Amino acid sequence: MSQELSSEQIQQSLQGISVPPQPQIMVDLQMEQYMPDPDLEVIAKLISQDPGLSGALLKIVNSPYYGLSNKITAIQRAVNLLGSRSIINLINAQSIKGELNDDAIVTLNRFWDTAQDVAMTCLSLAKRVGVQAGDEAYALGLFHDCGIPLMLKKFPDYMKVLEQAYASASAECRVVDTENKHYNTNHAVVGYYTAKSWRLPEHVTQAIANHHNALAIFSDESSRNTPLKNLLAILKMAEHICASYRVLGNQAEDHEWNTVGHLVLDYIGLSEYDFETQKQEIRDLATR
């Protein structure tokens, strides 16, 4: 049973951190909302492709207004809970907040493209290796880099620094270390607080905070932090498969994976050969 929220309640819920939505997704959603009978499945599928819209949706549905006993990450369930009228109010609110100039859209296309690709790959890997709920794995893939557009808003030279960070990644220098030197913060920290503001589950927000701290996490061979390790293992494999190092970092080689990949595969129990097979199968599926 959906609980409808007014435009005023939607606006109040969306105060604070906002990741701009992808313009083409907004166009498709606007077209669907003007249909005589908007299809909630179509709407959920469109929203699930965009980090900003998905985050805004989960922030609302995980709010005290709905009183859910457990926070959710499934976009279809969230759409069903809100209902068509509340979803339309959400879309309209985000369209007002999401106006971007052409240069910003071109730059952020790199972020939007990799977010959707990594999310879908996380979902596929979760099903294949069976160590994490698919909804949570998808959510982490979609949201793990949500700090990037916010860093770009504040620091116009951010993408150049991010490329430098990927180029410098090693056992001694994490991607986020380079960002910290320039800005005294980084996209993982900003993404963590953004995810917290969206009321995502704690282990998902912790995975966002630590997604460039994988070497330290997986060097700890104890049984601690199993939910975090499960999520991070899926994410790091997905980032490598989707070549985030190339799309976001403009690098020909994945220096971060070269440092941590063997620990991730040991944790999951995959050989290099098995992983290469999985990688090729997933890439083949993506091109069909």
Phi, psi of 136 (to 5 degrees): -70, -40
CATH class of 102-286: mainly alpha
Return d(Cα 199, Cα 72) in angstroms, integer.
9
∠ CA(164), CA(167), CA(170), 5° rounding?
Answer: 120
pTM of the model: 0.83
pLDDT given at position 284:
82
pLDDT given at position 15:
54
Q: Where are the domains of the chain?
A: 7-97, 102-286
pLDDT given at position 277:
92
pLDDT digits (tens, 9 = 90+) for 2-14: 455 455 554 554 4
Q: What is the mean pLDDT of each run of 10 residues along the chain (288 residues)?
A: 50 59 87 84 93 89 79 90 80 64 80 90 90 86 92 90 96 95 94 88 93 95 87 96 95 96 95 92 77
pLDDT digits (tens, 9 = 90+) for 195-217: 888 888 898 999 999 999 999 99
pLDDT digits (tens, 9 = 90+) for 97-131: 555 677 778 888 889 889 989 999 999 999 888 87
Return d(Cα 176, Cα 132) in angstroms, integer.
26
SS3 breakdown of the chain: % helix, strand, coil, rounded to 5?
A: 70, 0, 30
